Structure 1
């Protein structure tokens, strides 16, 4: 079947298909432009995406879902069982990006004054930042104590300096 470049262009304009896809669709439809367009649309609905607007709509829907989940997931600042602040995580993330030093100072001040910082996910799971920071602090303290003990043992063995202790291993 013969068809013109104008027919291929018409199919491309209306469907967003490539020249190859438009040509194949016209061959399948025996040169009928309308049938070729219908063929490509039904093919797109069957799983292959030829139209950028369909992909754009999917991206927008995904972004909407992320923002919705971000607004459901919340950050709570609590003191003595009472909620001092209740912030959607989306707003907290934007604030953290724009005002990082102020946010860090605020978090440290809140934790130092006995507040609890909690993140509540959309599934109801609660992440207590104070527990995480206490665990991290405990791990750091353990590593510092281990390093002190190691240095003391090395120093007793032969007055080793700090610089030398970094290169040597201690027999435990």
Structure 2
């Protein structure tokens, strides 16, 4: 089957993956949209995560900004797909738990030079910047990378 922009857009609209990921998945499934959606779902590509690629000196400011936005359950710091740190964020524990860990995050990120921050949001709230549909009302995650330089 032919892989068209319409098929790629359809996969992106339903899963929130990038054009590159949608095209690659369609190629693996001979252009079959349904099989592609099933594959991406099985690979957890449809989980909604919000990811930010940051440099070491910006990680603390970015984490503080995300916490101030509210409705954040967890913050994960990743490097090359490996989770370096996972911080649970509770409204009452922000000062006691998160702030001391921010210094450790800064050190971790400084060692690895470039990391990804993954934010798990509560309540299934969809952000304006993503096309992903609300699927898991209790712990939805928006997925799209942002490079900050």
TM-score, length of structure 2 as denominator length:
0.35
Which structure has the greater CA radius of gyration? 1
Higher helix share: 1
TM-score, length of structure 1 as denominator length:
0.31
Question: Which structure ranks higher in relative contact order (CA pairs < 8 Å, sequence separation ≥ 6)?
Answer: 2
Higher strand share: 2
